[in-house]
Each structure stands twice: as structure tokens, then as C-alpha cells.
Structure 1
Amino acid sequence: MKVLHINAGLESGGGLFHIVNLLKEAKLANEDFALLTLSEGPVARAAREAGIRTYVLGAKSRYDLSTTRRLTKFINEGHYDIVHSHGARANLYVSLIKKKISAKWCITVHSDPLLDFAGRGFVGNIFTKLNLRAFHKADCIFAITENFAQLLQQRVHLDPEKIHVIYNGIFFHDDSQIPAKYEHMYFNIINVARAEKVKGQDLLLKALKLVDDPHIRLHIAGDGSQLEALKALARQLEMSPQVTFHGFMTQKQLKNLYRRMNLAVLTSYSESFPLVLLEASDNRIPILSTAVGDIHKMIPDEEHGFIATVGSVESIAEQLRKAINMNAEELEEMGAVEKQYLAKNFAIANQLMAIKKVYTSLVQDN
């Protein structure tokens, strides 16, 4: 079975890692999967570095629709059984040629499609409608949370029979492969997220002010439009000495930083199934999140982590206090229990197996 994954190619966050990790696992399993990006960019570079068969269509601009003829030819002459698109731009391109290709078409919904172009006015409304129309044309939809599946049924009015919930996964490492922890004198908290309003780092800063513990140090790893505003808020709250803004960090840099972290925190207003928390857990770090998306699948109870109310500074502060008041051995045990649970249920191999099962049923129905 030949499968072609398609992405615009300009992703630099969770979408990039989702695609590349899935194709890396497919390569290890000797599956005939390839990647096509519409433009040269971070996704193609990361895929090549991972040894994934990668092609670039060469679109000259974000919406260079003149390349759709080349895309049709590439798919048909490559004799692909499945085309699997990721992201609104890739969805648009495939929707325009759907009737001209023989391959079955799948889409993965990585984020709320009703919000993807929010705040972009008339043009944003147009692209939202085009993306939703693409969903109706596709042969199958992969939703990465139950919440997304329900949204697609109730608000996009998709046929529930073509929606498949398949959770994100990562490569989990044996503990022997994880670098030893550094000794440190503070209670170190890490937040890995873009500095955008939806990520709620302002809530985290305000919650830490409520906790009022001078032994806490917060490390924010991520760049974005709110970075300077967050720095200003830290100064306003008189917390600058306790907060380090690292900006964008590579995976290698993050792994080194994880070596001296006690807790990983995500205080977002909206998420799907955050890979950054899976990665923190892989590094044996306990996790705390607001109750976004399907986070209860990731943190099923209080033995596996901490869940706070979305948008509530007081609730986040309460959960932070619980973590800070646990002794080192208890926190270490929580991290071990959570990693064992996640590695069993959300390894990338599980994700690939579930996706292949859907591919097979589509091809057999052809």
C-alpha cells in the first residue's frame, strides 16, 4: 500500500512533529510512506534529516493554485493508494483535484477548524469555508481527540462513520536512554508553548504570584507575539528574578533543560492532545495541565498528574501547591507511573497501527 502525506511545509510546532514522527515510525516498520510538501521549509528539512522520502512541489506562494496540475500528475503517476493531508492549505489543494485522482483521501484535523483562521476578517472566513468543504469531500477524517470528533459531527455536520479518533503518539525511550537529572536547589517548572494568548502563560505567572514561594523557578520555552507582554507582566508582578524566558528551543536544548525540571505545566485555554506533555513525561517529569481537549485521557487521575480548571488562576495555583508540597520521592514516583501509562497507551507505534487499519479498510472498499 503506497501512502503520500501532504503538508504545506511551513509548520514548526506540534504539526511538524506529528507528521515526522509518524513517518519515522512507518519507515521503521518498512511501510511505503512518503511526504510531499507544497513549499520548501521546516517540515521537509526535518523529514530529510529523519531519512524520510521527501518531495517538494515548489509552490511559489502560499496559495499558488497553478501547481494543482503537477500535484495531480505526481499522485497518479506515483500510483498512490492513499493521500493523507495535514493542514488547511494542503486540504485545499487536494480538494481541488479530488475527482482527478484515483487515491483515497484522508485528512488529519490537528486543531479546531472553526478557529484556524480566526481574526483574519473576510479572507479568514473564506478559507474557513474552503477548509470545511474539503472535509466533506474527503473519504476519511482522523480527529486527534474525542472533542474534535464531536465538533466535526455537530458543527461541521460530517458523517460520523468517516470520522476516526486516533490520538497522537511519540517515541518513548527506555529510562536508561534518558540523561541523568542535575542536582538543583530550586523547584523548577517548565512551560513549553508558543507565547500566544491561547497558551495562557499569563495565568501561570499570576498563579505563581499567588503561590508566593521564592524557591520556585519558572522556565518558559517558546517564542511568539505575547513574549514581550509576558516579560512585562513578570516585571509588573515583581517576579522577574524567578522567571526565565528562553525563547524558541530545539529538541536537543529542551532535553538538556528537562534534566533539572521538577514539573511540566501547560495552562492553555485550548489544546487538542499536547505532545509537549508526552515529551515531558518521557523525560520522567510529572505534568500539570488545564482541563483542555482530551487531557483526562492523558492524566486519568491524581496518581498520574494534576489538572486545573481552564482559565482559573486560583485552580492553577491550587494544583501547583499540591505538586510543590509533595516530597521528591513522591513526585519521582508520579513521573514514573505516568510515563509507564503513557508509553503503553500513546506510543507512536499504536498511532501508526490504528491509522493503517483505516487505510486498509478504505483500499479494500475501493
Structure 2
Amino acid sequence: MRILHIVTGLASGGAERQLHLLLRHLPAHQQCEVLALTNPGTVAAALRADGITVHHLGMRGNRDLGALPRLARLVRAGRYDIVHTHLYRAGLYGRLAARLAGVRAVVATEHSLHAGVIEGRPVTRGVKGLYLAAERLGTTTVAVSRQVAQTLHAWGVPQARVELIPNGIDAARYHHPPADRAGTRARLRAELGLPQDGWVIGGIGRLVPGKRFAVLLEALAGLDGAARLVLIGEGPERAALERRADELGVRDRLVLTGERDDVPDLLTALDVLAAPSTEETFGLGVLEGLAAGLPVRHSACPALDELPPGAAPQARRIPSEAAAYTAALRDLRDLRHLCRPDGLGADPLPRPAAVGHYDIVRVAADLGALYDRLVRA
């Protein structure tokens, strides 16, 4: 079975990293290739390192209609059994190109969809109309959470066309034996210029307004000078965050790592994961923090909302306000110092049930079964 995944870009965002992870765990008989409409970033390099063919269409913008016939020709030449699109622009162009090329099974995953927001942008009447027109060209739309599925239904997408398959995490990659973890933690703290015995807060995700990382900068300003903030990711909000850090007087306590493909290792350098976003459709970063054994303070995580309360006892939901994060982070720091007066990093917390529920092996098996059903049909 030949499958082409079409994605808007391959920078190191949540949807892009999720695609990479899925391709590592799909059944062996499902041979996948990836096409990026634009911006083949670090995830493209990682996919190629895994032996996966990556195409780059070189699309110049949302209205580059000349890209459509090129895309259709590539799909037709590849003789794919399934085309699977990811993210809004890829969903528009990819589903139409797949139909023009004669592909009968066309899947799209909705990674970031709310009632009035898609991928961090407001949903206008035109955006919604285009989305629904493209959706009708597909076979199945995959929702990564019940929240996304409910939004699709509210927009008028029939329930029979929606499949709920959540995001997943490679739980095994976040487990470090104690000696290895201590060494990795020390090495990465030195690399990032972090004090070995300091209190380090972390955030994961694209540097975009919806992630609300400025809340963490304001919280950092309310903590003592030994605290540091590490933001793992890249995006258009980088310069604005740097300016805000300057205004708050905490620029020298902020570390921006840029795009990284070693997130499981980077998490060993942290003491707590903070996620102030209020517009999550899944909450992948929260689960990554839990898998790494970190306490987590977050403001939205549909993935946890769909599980019993005891599935992640080390995660606590708090308002997306600087004062709330300052208080919560200070309490965690004081507890850490009470447990470890020497100031050294605490041992990782036990892995909660939520991590096992969203293990990528289970999620990829569900997606593979969907592909098999579509091809048989």
C-alpha cells in the first residue's frame, strides 16, 4: 500500500512532529512518502534520515494556484492508494489534487481546530466555506480529540465522515535510566547555559501568540533571579518574546532553543513543564512533560480532559494568568527544595496512566487499521 502525506510545512511544530512519529510506527506494509507544500524544516531532515522520501513543492503562498497542477501530476505519477493531508492549506490543495489525480481514498487530520479558530487564526466565513468545500472532496476526516470532533459536527460535517484517532507520544523515548538521565541533564544544562542547581521552567511549542508564552515571561519576572525559562520551539513570535523579556528585565534568564529534534533529552534539563495556552486541541506538550516525569502546570489539555481525573495526578490545571503561574511555580520550587535541600534535580515522577493511553504504538495501529479499511472499501 502506497500512502502520500501532504503537509503545509515541516518546521518543528506539534502536527509535524506527530506526523514523523506516526510514520515510524505504522504497519510495515504501508509505505509512506511525505510532501511539504513549503518550508521543509528540521522535520524534513529527520524524515529523510529515517529513509522516508520527502518531496518539496515549493509553493509560494496560499494563492499560488499554479502549484495545484504540479501537485496533481506528482500524486498521479506516484500511483498512491491513499492521500492523507495535514493542516489547513494542505487540506485545501491536497484533497483537490488527489481527486484530480484519481485517488479514491483521501484522508485529512485536523490537528488544531476550534469553533472560531483554526491553527491559531480566526475562522472567517470564507475560511470556513473553503474548509467545508474541501472536506467534501475527502473520504474521512480524523479528529485528534473529542473537542475537534465536536467542532466538526457543529460545522456540519456528518459524524459518519469523522474518525476519532488521538495524537500519540513515543513513551519509550522519554524514559532515561537514572544514571543516563543525570548525565544528559548535566550536559544539556551546560550546553544551554543553565545553572546545574537552578530552577528551570520549560515550555514546548511553536512560538505563536496562541501558546501564550508571554504569560511565562511575566511569571518568571515574579520569581527570584535563580529561576530560568527554556522555550523549545521556533516561530514568528520569537522577536516579540525577546522584546517582552527585555521590558521585564528577564532576557538573560530566557533561553530560546529554536527547532530541536531531541525534545525527550531536552526535557531532562527541566524541573517543571508549563503550558499556558488556552486554545489547545490536544495538548501534546503536556503529555510529553508527563512522559518525561515532570510536574506539569497547564491551562488547557483536551487529552487529559477526556480521561478519568486520576490519569495524571502530577498535572494541574490553572488559569492562564501570570500571577497564577508565578504562585504555582514558586510552590513547586519550594517543594523541590524541601525534598532536595542540596538543590540538585529531583528524580522523575512515576509515569501516569495517561501516557500509556496515548502511546504512539496504540495510536498508529488505529490509523493503520483505518487505511486498511479504506483501501478494501
TM-score by length of structure 2 reads 0.79
Q: Distance in 2 between matches of 1:98 and 1:236?
A: 49
The one-letter amino acid paired with 1:230 is: L
Match of 1:335 in 2: 349
| Aligned pairs (5 A) from 1:214-225 | 214-225=225-236
- Partner secondary structure for residue 219 of structure 1: strand
Letter in 2 for 1:319: A
For residue 350 of structure 2, what is the amino acid of its counterpart?
Answer: A
CA–CA separation in structure 2 for the residues paired with 1:240 and 1:296: 34
- Asked whether the equivalents of residues 85 and 108 of structure 1 are also in contact (C-alpha less than 8 Å), the reply is yes
Cα distance in 2 for partners of 1:283, 1:117 equals: 26
Deviations 1:32-69 (A, max 9, x none): 22223334622543321221133344546554433434
Amino acid at match of 1:157: G
Report the counterpart of residue 192 of structure 2 in structure 1. none
Q: 1:298 to 1:201 in 2, by over 3 A?
A: farther
Deviation, structure 1 residue 19: 1.4
Q: Residue 186 and residue 12 in structure 1: after superposition, are their counterparts in 2 closer, same or farther (change >3 A)?
A: closer
CA distance in 1, matches of 2:61, 2:245: 39
Task: Name the residue aligned to 2:13.
Answer: 13
Question: 2:203 corresponds to which residue?
Answer: 191
Bigger relative contact order, structure 1 or 2, given CA contacts below 8 A and separation 6+? 2
Q: 1:34-113, aligned counterparts within 5 Å?
A: 34-39=33-38, 41-42=40-41, 43-57=43-57, 59=59, 62-97=62-97, 99-100=99-100, 101-112=102-113
1:169 matched to 2:168? The reply is yes
Matches within 5 A, 1:111-260: 111-112=112-113, 114-116=116-118, 126-154=126-154, 156-172=155-171, 173=173, 174-176=175-177, 179-180=181-182, 181-182=185-186, 184-210=196-222, 212-240=223-251, 243-252=253-262, 254=263, 257-260=266-269
Residues 59 and 320 of structure 1, relative CA distance in 2, 3 Å threshold: closer
Tell me if structure 2 keeps the 8 A contact 1:187–1:215. Answer: yes
Q: Secondary structure of the residue that 2:118 maps to in structure 1?
A: coil
In 2, distance between residues paired with 1:288 and 1:299?
18
Provide the rounded CA distance (Å) in 2 between the counterparts of 1:218 and 1:44.
28
CA distance in 2, matches of 1:334, 1:319: 19
Q: Distance in 2 between matches of 1:214 and 1:39?
A: 41
Equivalences for residues 288-299 of structure 1 within 5 A: 288-297=297-306
Write the distance in 1 (CA, Å) between the matches of 2:269 and 2:78: 48
For residues 256-294 of structure 1, what are the alpha-carbon distances to aligned partners after superposition, in whole Å with 9 as ceiling and x for unaligned? 543332111111121222333333344333322112433
- Structure 1 residue 312 displacement after superposition: 3.1
Is 1:280 paired with 2:281? no
In structure 2, C-alpha distance between the alignment counterparts of 1:246 and 1:270, rounded to whole Å: 22
Q: Is the 8 A contact 1:299 1:306 kept in 2?
A: no
CA deviation map 1:288-321 (0-9, x unaligned): 2112433435894496323333433343334324
For the 8 Å contact 1:308–1:315, the answer to whether it is kept is no
Worse-superposed segment, 313-322 or 350-359: 313-322
TM-fit CA distance, 1:84: 0.7
* Structure 2 CA distance for partners of 1:185 and 1:60, relative to 1, 3 Å: closer
SS at match of 1:34: strand
Secondary structure at 1:311 match in 2: coil
Question: TM-score of the superposition, structure 1-length normalised?
Answer: 0.82
Alpha-carbon separation, structure 1, partners of 2:216 and 2:374: 45
Preserved CA contact (<8 Å) 1:299 1:307? no
Q: CA RMSD in A?
A: 3.4
Alpha-carbon distance in 2 for matches of 1:129, 1:307: 38
Are the structure 2 counterparts of residues 118 and 145 from structure 1 closer, same or farther at C-alpha, using a change threshold of 3 Å? closer
Query: Alpha carbons of 1:2 and 1:133: their partners in 2 closer, same or farther (altered >3 Å)?
Result: same
Contact 2:34–2:54 (CA<8 Å) still a contact in 1? Answer: yes
Aligned residues: 356
User: C-alpha offsets along residues 172-207 of structure 1, whole Å, 9 cap, x if unaligned?
Assistant: 224339542339322211122333322122222333
